[in-house]
Amino acid sequence: MAATATNHRVFIRTEATPSFSRSRSCPKPISNHLSFLASPPSLSSSIQLSLPNRRLLTLSPHAHHLVDSSQPSSSSSSSSPPPPSYKPTILVSEKLGNAGIDLLRAHAHVDCSYDLSPQELCDKVSSCDALIVRSGTKVTRQVFEAAKGRLKVVGRAGVGIDNVDLQAATEFGCLVVNAPTANTIAAAEHGIALLAAMARNVAQADASTKAGKWERNKYIGVSMVGKTLAVMGFGKVGSEVARRAKGLGMNVIAHDPYAPADRARAMGVELVSFDQAISTADFLSLHMPLTPATSKVFNDETFTKMKKGVRIVNVARGGIIDEDALVRALESGVVAQAALDVFMEEPPSKDSKLAHHPNVTVTPHLGASTKEAQEGVAIEIAEAVVGALNGELSATAVNAPMVPPDVLSELSPYVILAEKLGRLAVQLVAGGNGVQAVKIVYKSARDPDDLDTRLLRAMVTKGVIEPISSAFINLVNADYTAKHKGLRISEERVTVDSSPGSPLHSIQVKIPNVGSKFASAITENGEISIEGQVKDGIPRLTCVGSFGVDVSLEGNLILCRQVDQPGMIGQVGNILGEHNVNVSFMTVGRTVRHKQAIMAIGMDEEPNKETLGRIGQVNAIEEFVFLDI
Ligand SMILES: NC(=O)C1=CN([C@@H]2O[C@H](COP(=O)(O)OP(=O)(O)OC[C@H]3O[C@@H](n4cnc5c(N)ncnc54)[C@H](O)[C@@H]3O)[C@@H](O)[C@H]2O)C=CC1
Ligand SMILES: O=C(O)C(=O)COP(=O)(O)O
């Protein structure tokens, strides 16, 4: 027996005695591979969190709640590990580089079906774990609905994810990943190619010459040197365009509300306002994403602010230009020329005035289409999708928090703790329903700003929601689902005097304004409160209401409030032993000696009703609750 002080209360920690418990071998440290839910239980698929090197979080089939895979699975656990032979199915709906396809085939059944109609896509997707697209496939809400929860990852083999309904993906708990870097240079080179081709009428002169004409005077161009180029969107592609344009002797300015000025300055590029950019530029090169904020930002009003005779290149997205307004601007001469790789509707209609305008050079969305970029993108997306299916959150996740590997590695035991505390707290609520708010308190010696709690919040949310609803929660949809269910999750970070070596001292989960099946779990503030810590890598329950306990959070748990008197441990232990329920751990926490105590009993097996009934009949037991961790 060891006396330990926790939360300013003394409690007795009692190791399970040989008379009623098998002495359990030292728990293994938590492994670096943690299953971590993912899809509706009926569909038996799950996300896992794994931590090898640069990998972050994994989705893997056939487990739907958090399991420390280094531990024997508990009989009550509803999760089951993925069958070792499980091979996911990946649908590739657009042409992908061979290297990527080969990589996918090494890990999955790969179905390359191109040019699918929306209906065909919906029909196929329900038997696929992942879908890989480029810009030509619209991944709509209907696709996620049709997938019926099977689709766990959408991989966008490229940058722009405007063809994927991210909101629907998030609601359905489907991870979206993209390949943001491999086509940057290709897109920038295409931008420069269009800029030069437009300035020198290359496409028009080519067509004319091939038609047997020799129109040297008609195709006099304009020079680029010394002209002002405004790069609209100074991200990866925009800054590479800027670098190349400077090499052509152009004066480069840029507009990007989110770009750091020092990065621009280092390249000799001045960041300016939108109006300043469009009113001073001789050439505009567009490189911003299509978002609600950028949709049709180039319109009648903004064209009138431009320098007469401006030339525009668009290798970003058609939707950022109001195409009818551009036709008007071309006809009025405000815009002298345009070179477009992208269109609102792709391909543009056969009678598109814009695509057929003599002063417009067009290409069929070729920005990313170099051999090098396509191989690179294919590998980048294949790695991200396979990684996600194997349990890793790719660093290119679009709709899930990206937690750096080092942070994740530190937080992993707390991730398990967070989910288990959520599960326990909600099981303590009388009736299990009516939970409207959950407060999570993170106690740490570190500066609160150093603590990234998104993962922990998601796991508490998962723990709270899953036992009381049919919803399935993962890192992707946790916040959304909580909000949708009217569940307010609030967080507080409290600095405590503990070891700065670990990211957290403890996590406390509180549920206010509810009754409890176990009155002792309610604090003086009238809220259910439980707290846990990670000790030697193992999540443990350390406080219930105002009572200190110390029990490993695995298997099943009974909490009893009893009169603090000798023999209680033996009585309860004997009942469990007689019913072949193995006690893994037992602690007693008390408030006042000989008054009241709380006994927390961890068990490997789930006791049956009769066993629980007999425990309830022990005279000194005032209340008890069985909890499935
Ligand atoms: N035509 C093609 O084949 C290709 C097209 N793209 C498109 O090019 C665009 C840029 O791609 P990346 O440079 O890789 O993306 P990125 O994310 O690196 O850069 C986008 C930049 O736009 C900025 N931005 C956002 N809102 C803005 C606004 N309202 N005004 C000005 N700037 C704003 C962002 O701060 C960011 O710096 C995307 O739309 C992408 O889809 C990319 C590759 C190939
Ligand atoms: O990466 C992007 O954003 C692109 O526009 C490239 O599109 P693509 O993959 O060539 O259909």
Question: What ipTM was reported for this prediction?
Answer: 0.99
Q: Is the pLDDT of residue 563 over 90?
A: no
Q: How confident is the model at residue 37 (pLDDT cuts 50, 70, 90)?
A: very low
Question: What does the pLDDT look like over 136-182, one tens digit per residue?
Answer: 999 999 999 999 999 999 999 999 999 999 999 999 989 999 999 99
Residue 232 CA: nearest ligand 1 atom is 31
pLDDT at res. 593: 65
pLDDT at res. 594: 67
Most confident stretch, 362-376, 392-406, 420-434: 362-376
pLDDT at res. 592: 66
Q: Indicate the top mutation candidate among 159, 255, 315, 377 to test ligand 1's pocket, ranked by most ligand atoms within 8 A of CB.
A: 159
Q: Is the pLDDT of residue 485 over 90?
A: no
Compute the distance from residue 148 Cα to the ligand 2 centre, in Å: 27
Kindly state if the Cβ of 237 falls inside 6 Å of ligand 2.
no
Residue 369 CA: nearest ligand 2 atom is 10
Q: Which among 624, 487, 494, 473 has a CA at the least distance from the CA of 561?
A: 624
Output the pTM of the full model: 0.76
Instruction: Name the H helices within 430-582.
Output: 454-465, 478-484, 568-578
User: Which residue, judged by its Cα, is nearest atom 7 of ligand 2?
Assistant: 135
* Contacts of 598 by beta carbon, 8 Å cutoff, 6+ apart: 520, 544, 545, 547, 549, 559, 560, 561, 562, 588, 589, 590
Q: Is the pLDDT of residue 36 over 50?
A: no
Q: Lowest-pLDDT range, 150-154, 399-403, 533-537?
A: 399-403
Q: Is the pLDDT of residue 444 over 80?
A: yes
Q: Residues 178-188: what's their mean pLDDT?
A: 96
Residues comprising the chain, all counted: 629
Kindly state if the Cβ of 183 falls inside 6 Å of ligand 2.
yes
Distance of alpha carbon 248 from its chain centroid, rounded? Answer: 41
The residues that are catalytic are 317, 346, 365
Q: How confident is the model at residue 394 (pLDDT cuts 50, 70, 90)?
A: low
Q: Residues 449-458: what's their mean pLDDT?
A: 87
At residue 175, what are phi and psi to the nearest 5 degrees?
A: -75, 135
Q: Indicate the top mutation candidate among 94, 237, 317 to test ligand 1's pocket, ranked by most ligand atoms within 8 A of CB.
A: 237
Q: How confident is the model at residue 600 (pLDDT cuts 50, 70, 90)?
A: confident
Tell me how crowded residue 332 is: count the other CB atoms within 10 A of its CB. Answer: 11
**Residue with more model confidence, 16 or 407:** 407
User: Which residue, judged by its Cα, is nearest atom 9 of ligand 2?
Assistant: 134
User: Which residue, judged by its Cα, is nearest atom 11 of ligand 2?
Assistant: 135
Q: Is the pLDDT of residue 360 over 90?
A: yes
Q: Is the pLDDT of residue 564 over 90?
A: no
pLDDT at res. 45: 30
User: Which residue, judged by its Cα, is nearest atom 40 of ligand 1?
Assistant: 160
Q: Residues 305-327: what's their mean pLDDT?
A: 98
User: Which residue, judged by its Cα, is nearest atom 11 of ligand 1?
Assistant: 237
**Residue with more model confidence, 197 or 562:** 197
Q: How confident is the model at residue 22 (pLDDT cuts 50, 70, 90)?
A: very low
Q: How many Å apart are CA 565 and CA 542, to the nearest integer? A: 21
Residue in this structure with the two tokens 């990234």, named with its chain if needed: 452
Residue 293 CA: nearest ligand 1 atom is 29
Compute the distance from residue 156 Cα to the ligand 2 centre, in Å: 9
Whether 464 and 452 have beta carbons less than 8 Å apart is answered as no
Among residues of the chain, what percentage have pLDDT more than 90? 60
